[in-house]
């Protein structure tokens, strides 16, 4: 397929009323996902569940994510969310007191901070936490901060706010040259922006299915490059992480067990089968279109929105769109004191109320109005937001 289908929006009933720009909090699910999950629940309701089919859904989802990011299925573990994936790698790396991890917590979600603080408290590792550069990841300074005791660098592929992209290729090269593990929280970009883990030099990538992957909460994936995975021992181990061949999952092995190949060793316990069914259907849709086409389409819309808001004299974070921007556009001035879902800027609060009254769904993080787009958005959505913003600007100026 060479582009996003013109009728793609029809598969997302939630788009019929209002403008949905809250993908960075949770993505919409398409009809295919709803139908697949409904059929799975009907099978449970009627007692016709087939365990082989449930396992097949897990493996199809695993293969679908592998295809999406240019990995091998054995390099994908099944998790329940991003946090579990990040913790699986953080706890499995071979740490010694005095080793360090390099990060920039200022632009990270808190769940990519606590695993490292926990290791600092437990094992005495050093957390080299560098300040951001105007909301941007300070890639050059992160490279400079690496030394012979650096075991990992962890960063978001695209920050949850203000939504700037990270130069992963530069970090990937620097880490690969030094034998340092590059661990990426990719939840804001997976399924929206094209991601090639091999080309970018990513060693580990954690994501969930509830945002750009168009699935459910409680289901996620962890990519771990095979060369690294084969050197790591999981802190948690369960039957699916142990290689016992083709015998039943309920049968026991002996004391001299062997870990599953690649990232499969990080699979713990039974799976979220409805989540896997949903992911299977969503990944079929995303892979059928292709993330290169999805990224080109979505980023074009985001750039149109950013330019339009700038033309109205509104404070778009990061200014004119460019290589640093992706599918998220933020407005306002960062205010930590504002709290989750609030802004302490009276003008931005007024604009937010006007947009909400006009049927626009978006989010507020760290005081910034955050608009996040996906393949189900259209140019009409952008024009509607700009129309409402222009109304608000005109009303503000008349009142001044």
Chain centre to alpha carbon of residue 181: 19
Quote the pLDDT of residue 250. 64
Choose between 6 and 147: higher pLDDT: 147
Kindly report the length of the chain.
Answer: 400
DSSP helix/strand/coil, 100: strand
Is the pLDDT at 246 greater than 80, yes or no? Answer: no
Quote the pLDDT of residue 2. 59
Q: How confident is the model at residue 363 (pLDDT cuts 50, 70, 90)?
A: very high
Quote the pLDDT of residue 286. 98
Closest CA to 191 of 174, 176, 208, 179: 208
With contact defined as beta carbons under 8 Å apart, do 266 and 241 qualify? yes
With contact defined as beta carbons under 8 Å apart, do 25 and 12 qualify? no
Cα dihedral value 379, 385, 391, 394, nearest 10: -90
Closest CA to 24 of 301, 330, 319: 330
Q: How far apart are CA 377 and CA 363, in angstroms?
A: 16
> What is the per-residue pLDDT across 50-71, written as a single tens digit (0 to 9) for each?
989 999 999 999 999 999 999 9
Is the pLDDT at 87 greater than 80, yes or no? Answer: yes
Q: What is the DSSP string of 284-324?
A: HHHHHH-HHHHHHHHHHHHHHHHHHHHHTT--BTTSS-STT
Is the pLDDT at 216 greater than 60, yes or no? Answer: yes
Chain centre to alpha carbon of residue 150: 25
Q: How confident is the model at residue 94 (pLDDT cuts 50, 70, 90)?
A: very high
Quote the pLDDT of residue 1. 44
Is the pLDDT at 342 greater than 90, yes or no? Answer: no
> What is the per-residue pLDDT across 30-46, written as a single tens digit (0 to 9) for each?
999 999 999 999 999 99
Is the pLDDT at 275 greater than 80, yes or no? Answer: yes
Q: β-pairing, 100-103 with 19-20?
A: unpaired
Is the pLDDT at 181 greater than 60, yes or no? Answer: yes
Q: How confident is the model at residue 337 (pLDDT cuts 50, 70, 90)?
A: low
Average of per-residue pLDDT across 252-264: 85
Q: How far apart are CA 198 and CA 196, in angstroms?
A: 6
Is the pLDDT at 340 greater than 80, yes or no? Answer: no
Q: What is the mean pLDDT of the chain?
A: 95
Is the pLDDT at 248 greater than 80, yes or no? Answer: no
Average of per-residue pLDDT across 346-360: 97
Q: β-pairing, 220-224 with 328-331?
A: unpaired
Q: How far apart are CA 73 and CA 140, in angstroms?
A: 33
CA distances from 355 to 26, 27, 227, 337 (A): 19, 19, 49, 23
CB under 8 Å to 385, separation ≥6 — which residues?
Answer: 19, 21, 305, 308, 355, 360, 371
Domains assigned to the chain: 8-21+290-399 (3.90.1150.10), 32-288 (3.40.640.10)
Quote the pLDDT of residue 5. 93
Is the pLDDT at 109 greater than 50, yes or no? Answer: yes
With contact defined as beta carbons under 8 Å apart, do 97 and 320 qualify? no
SS3 content of the chain, % helix, strand, coil (to 5): 45, 15, 40
Average of per-residue pLDDT across 266-271: 94
Quote the pLDDT of residue 254. 67
Q: How confident is the model at residue 269 (pLDDT cuts 50, 70, 90)?
A: confident
Quote the pLDDT of residue 244. 85
Q: How far apart are CA 65 and CA 184, in angstroms?
A: 15
CB under 8 Å to 73, separation ≥6 — which residues?
Answer: 59, 62, 63, 66
């Amino acid at each position: 397929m060479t582009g996003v289908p013109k009728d793609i929006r029809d598969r997302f009933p939630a788009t019929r009323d209002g403008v949905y720009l809250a993908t960075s909090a949770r993505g919409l699910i398409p009809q295919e996902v709803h139908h697949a999950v409904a059929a799975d629940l009907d099978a449970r309701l009627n007692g016709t569940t087939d365990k082989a089919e449930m396992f097949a859904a897990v493996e199809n989802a695993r293969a679908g994510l592998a295809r999406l990011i240019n990995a091998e299925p054995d390099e994908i573990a099944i998790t329940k969310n991003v946090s579990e994936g990040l913790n699986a790698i953080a706890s499995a790396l071979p740490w010694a007191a005095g080793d360090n991890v390099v990060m920039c917590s200022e632009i990270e979600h808190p769940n990519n901070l606590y695993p490292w603080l926990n290791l600092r408290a437990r094992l005495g590792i050093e957390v080299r936490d560098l300040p951001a550069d105007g909301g941007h990841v300070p890639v050059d300074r992160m490279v400079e901060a690496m030394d012979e005791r650096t075991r990992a660098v962890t960063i978001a592929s695209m920050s949850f706010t203000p939504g700037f992209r990270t130069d992963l290729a530069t970090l990937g090269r620097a880490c690969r040259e030094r034998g340092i593990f590059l661990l990426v929280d990719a939840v804001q970009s997976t399924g929206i922006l094209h991601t090639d883990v091999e080309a970018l030099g990513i060693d580990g990538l954690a994501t969930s299915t509830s945002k750009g992957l168009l699935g459910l909460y409680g289901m996620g994936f962890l990519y771990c490059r095979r060369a690294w995975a084969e050197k790591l021992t999981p802190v948690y181990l369960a039957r699916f992480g142990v290689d016992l061949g083709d015998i039943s999952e309920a049968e026991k092995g002996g004391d001299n067990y062997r870990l599953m190949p690649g990232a499969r060793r990080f699979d713990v316990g039974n799976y979220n089968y409805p989540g896997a069914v949903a992911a299977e259907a969503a990944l079929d849709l995303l892979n059928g279109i292709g993330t290169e086409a999805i990224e080109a389409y979505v980023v074009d819309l985001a750039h149109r929105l950013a330019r339009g808001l700038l033309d109205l004299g509104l404070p778009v974070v990061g200014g004119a769109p460019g290589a640093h921007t992706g599918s998220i556009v933020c407005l306002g001035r960062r205010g930590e004191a504002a709290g989750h879902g609030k802004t302490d800027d009276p003008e931005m609060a007024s604009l937010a109320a006007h947009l909400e009254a006009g049927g626009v769904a978006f989010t507020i993080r760290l005081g910034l109005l955050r608009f996040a787009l996906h393949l189900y958005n259209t140019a009409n959505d952008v024009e509607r937001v700009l129309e409402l913003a222009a109304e608000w600007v005109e009303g503000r100026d008349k009142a001044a």
